[in-house]
Amino acid sequence: MLKSAIAFFPVIALISLASIDAKAESIAERIELSGKFESQLAFGTTTHIAQKKAFVLTPEIGIDLTPALHLTVIARLRSDIADELEPGKPEQRNRSHYSTRHFTGTHADTELREAYIDAEIDNTFLRIGKQQVVWGQADGLKVLDILNPQTFREFILNDFEDSRIPLWTVNAEIAIGDAFMQVVWIADQTYDDIPKPGATFAFTSPQIIPSLAPGIPTTISTPTRPSKFLADSDIAAQFSLFINGWDLSLNYAYHYSDQPVIRRNHSQTGITVRQNYERTHLLGGSFSNVFGDFTFRGEIGYSSHRFFLTNNIADRDGVIESGELAYVVGTDYQGLRDWLVSAQFFQSIITNPDTNVVRDEVNTTTTFLVRRDLMNETLEAEVLLIHTLNQSDGVVQASLKYEWITNIHLSVGADIFYGVSKGLFGQFNDKDRVTVGVEVGF
Amino acid sequence: MNKSANNAEKYFEFVTSWPKTYFIVSILTILWIATFVPQIHKDTSSDAFIAKDNPIVLYRDQVRDVFGLEDPIVVAVINDGPRGIFNPDSLALVDQLTQTIGKLSNVDPDRITSLATESNIVGTIDGMEVTDFFEPYPSTQARADEIKAAIADFPLYQGTLVARDSNATLIVVELLDQDAAQITYDEILAIVAATPVTAGTEIHVAGEGAISGYRSTYIDRDATRLNPLAAVVITIVLFMAFRTLTGAVLPNIVVLGTLAAAFGAMAAFGVSFYVITNGLATILIGIAVADSIHIMSQVYEEIARAPELATSRIGRREIVIRAMSKMWKPITFTTITTIAGFAGIWLGAAMPPMKFFGMFAAVGVAGAWVYSMFLLPAALTLFPLKPSKLFKAEHNSRTSIDRCGAALKNLGAAALNRPRLAAAVAVLIVAFGIVGTNRVIVQEVQIDNFQPDEPIHIADNEINRRMDGTYFLDIVVETNEPEGLFRPDHLRRIEALQAHIEQIPAVGGSTSVVDYIKQMHKAVNENRHEFYSIPDDEFLIAQLFLLYSASGDPDDFEAEIDTDYAQANVRFNFPAADYQLLTEVVPAIQNYVKHEFNSDEIQAHLSGRVMVNYTWLKTIGDNHLRSLMLSLLFVWLAAALAFRSILAGALSLIPVGMSLLLVYAVMGFGNIWLGVGTSMFAAIAIGLGIDFAIHTLDRMKELLSNRSGSYDQRLADLFPSTGRALFFNFAALTFGFLVLVTSEVPALIKFGLLVAVAVSTSFISSITILPVLGKLLKPTFLFRQGEISPQDRKLSALASAGSTMALVALVSVLVVNFAEAGDASKLPSGDSLIAQVNARDDGQQVTRSLKMELVDRRGKSRVRETLGYRRYYGEEKRTVIFYRSPTNVKGTGFLTYDYSQAETDDDQWLYLPALRKVRRISAADRGDYFLGTDFSYEDIKKETRIATEDYIFTTLSSEEIESQFTYLVEGIPVDSATAEELGYGRVRWHIDPQIWMSRKTEMWDVNGNRLKTVRNENIEQIQGIWTALKLTALNHKTGHSTTFTFSDVDYQSPVEDSIFEQRTLRRGR
């Protein structure tokens, strides 16, 4: 955090000084300060311990440098007294130099969430700096939304906004007639935050963590992260178009998958587990359109180089390489006043399967969402079900959000996992929780 | 003596200087104007009550042109024998009458319909054959039975041509010239009278054509007979008042002059004499007599004081000048106030006859004044004046009194001795009047204009009892293509229309081309009943018409379908068509036609006599009150000006108000409807009543200013002198018009009775209540300056303030009434108003900040701030809103592409910063609430515009909103699906025509419950564009409200295309 600030701010300062027009309105008028303060409590109903007792301050500053240049900086200061989600001080080896969080003690961290400059030059919009770039039409299920890594600190239970890790990125959007070409260059080798063993949501599912034979000495080495600024950067492009009511996009990315590939090496001394990141091409597209009360949307992506754990003892490194085709189709129904009913169907297919692959060749997940707004959208009630067809496991998330007065929101919720422990969701079967939150905006 | 009195004296010296010359000049003038009177055109038709350019009339005329439909005279042959009319004699009678009537000059022989002219459609081996029912001629019972069977097999004719019980049949006679209906009716009556009938057979003549022709003549004839009789009675009363020939004759000359002025002017200006113009004669006689009586009384009083002067012309001149100097003022005052009253009627009325009534009554009143001020003094100087025995001088220069004067003196004294009791009685009478007024209903039953034993009344009852009805509502169906009516779907729609409307109990039956098609379809299918239906095949339908023309006359369908087969007339029969019934039935039918029948390909419009009558009768109720209020206001202002006191204006209205209330009470309790005839009573009550009040007040003022003593003492002379004159004024009118009670015409009986009530009330209340109120209130205008004690002055000021408030209230009521009950036919159409609203310039683009404040029932408020842009791309409109605060929604963006084609759904995107995704959202639910506000997505999208494709608009009235004139337009969603979609079952906009924006909009939900009120406030012109800077929406069901406050509105700064792109939405700014 500190390092990134040191690296970035001289640039910002220079641009700012160069661009501030003395004749224009006072600086105070061009600066907009806002933010929110959240108090979050999550209580494990099975474990009977608090998973989270957090206070989060998210200040945001926006500065109009010139009419065409705008700077946005968002930081996050978090103190989680429970310290169960990331016990101790995480090593952050998955994070690049410029995207690390700064820890104060074991339960407080500060992170520069976003810091970017927006500029508009003719028909090109540029956003340079630390940011999130989101692709795709699906909610929660990721096929194309792969540009930013994710934190699994709370598995998938926290907000998308918070779960994405913003990256230092150059993002250019160029209008070409009625269409848009977006070119993204990410020179930030930061990948998913995976909770370490001992954390509340540490992974145990054999689909993710290789099962190791008991009694054999095992050495787990630290993940190897790509580190070459230019050579290891990600590049991506999206061509999007609105035509005859259809929102269409064509996407391509040449990027590192954000999940580490966990390889095991048998040696005389035992087993060495190594983790590294692998590059892949992603080619895909998305669509959405509305028919009456129904919105139909979907996305599809083919990743050329994916790695899957295998049970084959004879396998040299315990993973096989294959292409992966994934897609989501979804529909939202808004035919009933104040109701939203949404369903999604997701499949991931290993295109070059091996009989020993741990996960199924085809993974199928469905989601079902019902949301109801009440009292002029003062109160929002929502139930979300995510269910995998392979393991018949899943999670039910129910929540109530209430806007007490302008800028103060209260919320209560429950997250209930079910299914077998080897399942992606079932692994957290004992991590059911209820949550209470207060959010104060300013 | 003041200056005006001097001037008046000089004037009367001049008038009396050459009495002979002036008298002759006056008489010649009267005669000259009277020469115009014979030219007056009588228009006693029903159509006279509706403006000739009224859309309903124009459409009806157009329909007449296409289908040749007129209001027919209907001749019924009735036979209650066992075989009904199906016997050789009755059928021969039908044939004979058809032949004879067909020869009348005003009858179109091709447009006479009876069993003798109509054709039967029967199936043959080749298809179908069209043969006349009377071919071969029904000379035998067997043949008559065959015809009976044929009719039984032809549903179309049942109830319309032949009674369903076979006991009656009609000969429907359409006229070439509707204006000559009266003559034709008389001719037909003569034919009927001359036609021998067998025992048990009856012939009746009725029908709308007969009624409208005869009714007017009927009233007119009686009125013409009775008005002169009234004049005789009035003359007798005058004689009793003065017991001199001059006293009886001279007022009659003034009356003649007045009538000549009014009717001569009408003739000269080409204004027709309508049925209600008979009432004009009444009122003018009354006013002319009143003016004369007051002048003559004064003259006789002067003679009584100085009898020696009456013997010479110079002496008479002196007397006349003295009398006229005293009387010119009250006469002028009454003239001004009466003219003001009639001006109110003239301006307030919508029906042409009523308008002209007001206008020419004012002309006549002015004429009466001219003759009273010119002819009368000249004549009184010219002719010998015998002293009236009834006027004798007393010692103290006051006149002595006769028995009549004494009685009035006692009445006055009684009232003045117990002023509070008198006032209380007046209040009670007013209360009674108010109760009665509330019972008055607007109703018109045309046939009730005839006595129940009149042949036409009997005929109407008989025919409408036996048949489907002789009152016609025509529904004209128009398709947008030639031969469109060959299409089975269109025909089924017409069939459904007939079936639906026939379910209404008031509807007797109906006829349309569909009935013929079904009959023909049956005929070509061996007369099998299951084929009495609309064929599914368009070509077969065309074929049927072709087959028909092979043996029948193609003109047979002239009244049902046009030659292009694109328009059809569906005629509905009503056995009764009174206004109260029509107010229930016609809107229901209109509603069905609008919402269930009309489509892009086929439309229906209501027409026919029933529709025309309904349209103009509708204006009676609304208009009556309006012209009444206006009239009262004008009278008040005129009286206030005359006495230079608002309180005087108010006081002079009291007798008028009381007489009006009593007239209404008599109507309410006596079941006398407010109809065509009775709608002018108010005018008469005001016109005649105000004179009593003005004369009384003027004399009171004179006595109180010039005499000495107590209030009662000073007023003592009021009763025997002015009171006496007023009494004879009252007596002349009351007895004169009570003569009308002997009339045969129900309308005239009511007329006579109500005029008597109005005049009596005005007289008694003027002579009692006004002196009492003068005593109680001590109004300063009646007294000498400085005479009123400060305490009384306060009371008077209070009364003055009260009457000012009442005046303001009257004006307000009038304004509201103008707005609410305003004549709908004069309001611009809903469609045109909405088109103007939608055409309002709201800028090619706009940038603006918007603060939304959402407040719940308990007052808890939530605030959002946004920045919005809007721009038109031709007909397409793009809008985007970015949320700036509060933090939790900051960055939320809402983008809409609103396409010009109504059927194309909008494209909408919502950017939620929490998801960092632009979400496509469905736009189908226009009625959903926009982001938690009380505005629906549709409200937001349309801004101040209104989707014309969603509603059927009607202009209801005009109203004031925030002191601004607005039109109230109601929109009913075109169908229930649209209503569901919008969430509104009904919307009312208050459209300000200055800015073409709705200032207030009310919405009802689909169940008819009040849902929302939206107000556009703080409307300013920004860069030349009217802009509502504040919008509030209150949800009446939830108590939740939303206020939108716009600021930094800028219509000129360019709004880039890129603002309306999804990528901009993602940037949140």
Instruction: Tell me what the mean pLDDT of segment B531-552 comes to.
Output: 83
Q: Which of A35, A159, A173 sits opposite B887 (nearest CB)?
A: A35
pLDDT of residue B924: 55
Best A56, A61, A289, A406 member to test B by mutation, with max B CBs in 10 Å, is: A406
Residue B887 near chain A (CB below 8 Å): yes
Distance separating alpha carbons of residues B882 and A62, to the nearest angstrom = 15
What does the mean pLDDT of chain B come to? Answer: 83
Q: What Rg do the C-alpha atoms of chain A give, in angstroms?
A: 23
Residue B958's pLDDT band (cuts 50, 70, 90): confident
pLDDT at A219 over 90: no
Residue A70 near chain B (CB below 8 Å): yes
pLDDT of residue A2: 45
Q: Which residue has the higher pLDDT, B291 or A329?
A: A329
pLDDT of residue B819: 45
CATH 2.40.40.20 fits B830-1067, yes or no: no
Q: Which residue has the higher pLDDT, A387 or B684?
A: A387
Residue B818's pLDDT band (cuts 50, 70, 90): very low
Distance separating alpha carbons of residues B107 and B984, to the nearest angstrom = 53
Instruction: Tell me what the mean pLDDT of segment B595-616 comes to.
Output: 84
Candidate from A430-439, B125-134, B461-470, B520-529 with smallest mean pLDDT: B125-134
**Chain A residue closest to B1058 (CA)?**
A123
Under CATH, which number does the domain B3-40+215-442+616-818 receive?
A: 1.20.1640.10
Distance from CA of A176 to the nearest CA of B (A): 12
Q: Do A205 and A419 touch, CB atoms closer than 8 A?
A: no
pLDDT of residue B882: 92
Candidate from A208-212, A435-439, B611-615 with smallest mean pLDDT: A208-212
Residue B741's pLDDT band (cuts 50, 70, 90): confident
pLDDT at B519 over 80: yes
What does the mean pLDDT of chain A come to? Answer: 88
pLDDT digits (tens, 9 = 90+) for B21-33: 888 888 898 888 8
Smallest CA-to-CA distance from B604 within B470, B481, B493 is with B493
Residue B863 near chain A (CB below 8 Å): yes
Binary contact (B887, A406; C-beta < 8 A): no
pLDDT of residue B826: 58
Distance from CA of B981 to the nearest CA of A (A): 10
Distance from CA of A408 to the nearest CA of B (A): 9
Q: Which residue has the higher pLDDT, A13 or B993?
A: B993
Residue A77's pLDDT band (cuts 50, 70, 90): very high
pLDDT of residue B429: 85
Chain B hits for A240, CB-CB cut-off 8 Å, are 1062
Binary contact (A406, B914; C-beta < 8 A): no
Candidate from A268-282, B40-54, B351-365 with smallest mean pLDDT: B40-54
Residue B434's pLDDT band (cuts 50, 70, 90): confident
Smallest CA-to-CA distance from B761 within B438, B407, B429 is with B429
Give percent of chain B above pLDDT 90. Answer: 9
pLDDT digits (tens, 9 = 90+) for A370-405: 999 888 888 999 999 999 999 999 999 999 999 888
Residue B816's pLDDT band (cuts 50, 70, 90): low
Cis peptide before B771 (omega within 30 of 0): no
Distance separating alpha carbons of residues B585 and B581, to the nearest angstrom = 6
pLDDT of residue B853: 92
Candidate from A390-394, B320-324, B554-558, B861-865 with smallest mean pLDDT: B554-558
Distance separating alpha carbons of residues B983 and A318, to the nearest angstrom = 61
| φ and ψ of B115, to 5 deg | -60, -30
Domains and their CATH numbers in chain A: 2-441 (2.40.160.10)
Q: Which residue has the higher pLDDT, B240 or A51?
A: A51
Binary contact (A160, B914; C-beta < 8 A): yes
Distance from CA of A293 to the nearest CA of B (A): 5
Element (H, E) at A32: strand A31-44
Distance separating alpha carbons of residues A406 and A403, to the nearest angstrom = 7
Residue B396's pLDDT band (cuts 50, 70, 90): very low
Q: pTM value? A: 0.53
Among A380-384, B387-391, B838-842, the range with the most confident prediction by mean pLDDT is: A380-384
pLDDT of residue A6: 47
pLDDT of residue B393: 54
DSSP labels, B302-334: HHHH-GGGGGSHHHHHHHHHHHHHHHHHHHHHH
DSSP labels, B231-298: HHHHHHHHHHHH-SHHHHHHHHHHHHHHHHHHHHHHHHTT--B-TTHHHHHHHHHHHHHHHHHHHHHH
* Domains B3-40+215-442+616-818 and B830-1067 belong to one CATH topology: no
Give percent of chain B above pLDDT 70. Answer: 94
Q: Do A317 and A263 touch, CB atoms closer than 8 A?
A: yes
Distance separating alpha carbons of residues B369 and B343, to the nearest angstrom = 16
Q: How far is CA A16 from CA A8, A63, A129, in A?
A: 12, 9, 14
Distance separating alpha carbons of residues B657 and B728, to the nearest angstrom = 21
Q: Which of B915, B932, B1058 sits opposite A376 (nearest CB)?
A: B932
Distance separating alpha carbons of residues B853 and B1018, to the nearest angstrom = 16
pLDDT of residue A153: 92
DSSP labels, B745-777: SHHHHHHHHHHHHHHHHHHHHHHHHHHHHHHHH
Residue A402 near chain B (CB below 8 Å): no
Smallest CA-to-CA distance from A386 within A359, A419, A430, A422 is with A419
Binary contact (B983, A123; C-beta < 8 A): no
Q: Which residue has the higher pLDDT, B548 or B21?
A: B21
Distance separating alpha carbons of residues B47 and B178, to the nearest angstrom = 11
Lookup: tokens for B351: 């029906």
Distance separating alpha carbons of residues A410 and A404, to the nearest angstrom = 7
**Chain B residue closest to A36 (CA)?**
B887
Chain B hits for A70, CB-CB cut-off 8 Å, are 1069
Instruction: Tell me what the mean pLDDT of segment B791-814 comes to.
Output: 68
pLDDT digits (tens, 9 = 90+) for B885-929: 888 888 899 898 888 776 778 888 888 888 888 888 887 567 888
Instruction: Tell me what the mean pLDDT of segment A250-266 comes to.
Output: 91
Distance separating alpha carbons of residues B510 and B187, to the nearest angstrom = 29
Residue A1's pLDDT band (cuts 50, 70, 90): very low
Candidate from A110-119, A287-296, A419-428, B592-601 with smallest mean pLDDT: B592-601
Q: Which residue has the higher pLDDT, B719 or A55?
A: A55
Element (H, E) at B811: helix B790-820
Distance from CA of A218 to the nearest CA of B (A): 41
Cis peptide before B535 (omega within 30 of 0): no
Q: Where are the domains of chain B?
A: 3-40+215-442+616-818, 72-206+453-577, 830-1067
Candidate from A31-35, B174-178, B1000-1004 with smallest mean pLDDT: B174-178
Binary contact (B862, A173; C-beta < 8 A): no
